[in-house]
Amino acid sequence: MSKDRLLVFSGNANKPLTNSICRELSGLTKKKVKLGRAEVGRFKDGELRMQYQDDLREADVFIVQPTNQPDRNLIELLAMIRAARSASARRVTAVIPYFGYARQDRKDRPRTLITARLVVDLLVEAGAHRVLTMDLHASQIQGFFPKEVVCDHIYARRELLKVLTGHFSGEADWQERLCLVATDAGAAKYVAKHAEILRVPMAIVIKDRPEPNVCRITGILGAENLAGRIACGVDDMVDTLSTADPVSQALKDPGSIGLEAEGAIEVWMAATHGLLSGQAVQRLQAAPISRMFLTDSVRIPRRKRIDELTMVPLGRLLAEAILCTHKGKSLSSTFEVSL
């Protein structure tokens, strides 16, 4: 049996994305890449029931599963990894478009759990040979993996910027109309790379969090760059909009936080992972945000895809990353941005 077989499987968290990846792989390889057959179901009490219907022996297996809530998504991924190893797969790569539990990456208070490390330990124990993930909330999580498990960290930047700049199609002066905004100081380096590629100015929001999911804006560095421009806040994720809502208010009206600066004429937001928890959609509709760009790393239900939301597909990018991994090639091509 050929050791060059590439098999792609999906848990239940985001099958539409996995189907998109398979379609893109078919185009890249010039041969049909079908979604692998796997039964990932439940017993009556909710307990996981998992079985592969395809022969995995000596195959290069890729399991696509974001680990957003509920916790069953993570359990499904762990079970699929272990079952693939038990079925004698040559190599098992966990493709995790959104790496859940990444927000607790350090012990910043007594008696807290570093959940990001716990998830890494679970992936290693389940038997993953490699992990392919995207836009980690804390990039140092890559260092939690032992040397025998490779973690490849790629970015959605290429696809996000392509769709973002597409909204200025035909406008020669669009760079004079746009300002990118880091929604906190921690994102400044990440957003600075976006701004460098687009050749546009940037600003940095200064904020603190008195408690989880509560955001207080205290200042804006580079507020002078907002005047007369569209301010596009850039972040790795949007959850409850507890950050995006007050940030957008401050960008539109810097005077509301005590700054003597002219605000942006319009506010956009762009993020890789759209969790949209709780009242996020209602907050988006009420906030002064005219456009929100989110990728399909996490499956967003139709009822939440309101007019203000523009979806950014990741199928092509992830398919390229999977094919590079399968062929033993560098992933550097996935970082190249051509606008």
pLDDT score for 151: 97
CATH topology of domain 160-312: Rossmann fold (3.40.50)
Report helix, strand or coil for 166: helix
pLDDT, one tens digit per residue, over 17-70 is 999 999 999 999 999 999 999 999 999 999 999 999 999 999 999 999 999 999
DSSP 299: P
pLDDT digits (tens, 9 = 90+) for 262-308: 999 999 999 999 999 999 999 999 999 999 999 999 999 999 999 99
Q: Which residues contact 110 (CB under 8 A, 6 or more apart)?
A: none
Here the tokens at position 107 are 């012990």
Q: What is the mean pLDDT of residues 77-103?
A: 97
The CATH 3.40.50.2020 domain(s) of the chain lie at 6-156+315-335, 160-312
Q: How many CB atoms sit inside 10 A of residue 199's CB?
A: 9
Which tokens hold the place of 214? 């509560």
Residue 207 among the catalytic residues: yes
> Class assignment of domain 6-156+315-335?
alpha beta
What pLDDT digit, counting tens, does each position of 237-259 carry? 999 998 888 999 999 999 999 99
Phi first, then psi, for residue 258 (nearest 5°) are: 85, 15
CA distances from 175 to 126, 154, 231, 235 (A): 47, 26, 12, 20
Tell me which residue has tokens 């100081």.
185
pTM: 0.94
Q: Is the dihedral of CA 107, 108, 112, 115 positive or negative?
A: negative
**8 SS3 class:** strand
> Cβ atoms within 10 A of the Cβ of 214, count?
12
Can you say how many angstroms the Cα of residue 41 is from the centroid of all Cα atoms in its chain?
Answer: 26
- Biggest CA-to-CA distance, the chain: 70
pLDDT band at 170 (very low <50, low <70, confident <90, very high): confident
- Contact call for residues 153 and 94 (beta carbons, < 8 A): no
pLDDT at res. 3: 60
Q: Report which of 156, 86, 98 is spatially closest to residue 131, judged by C-alpha positions.
A: 98
Choosing from 34, 207, 252, 327, the catalytic residue is 207
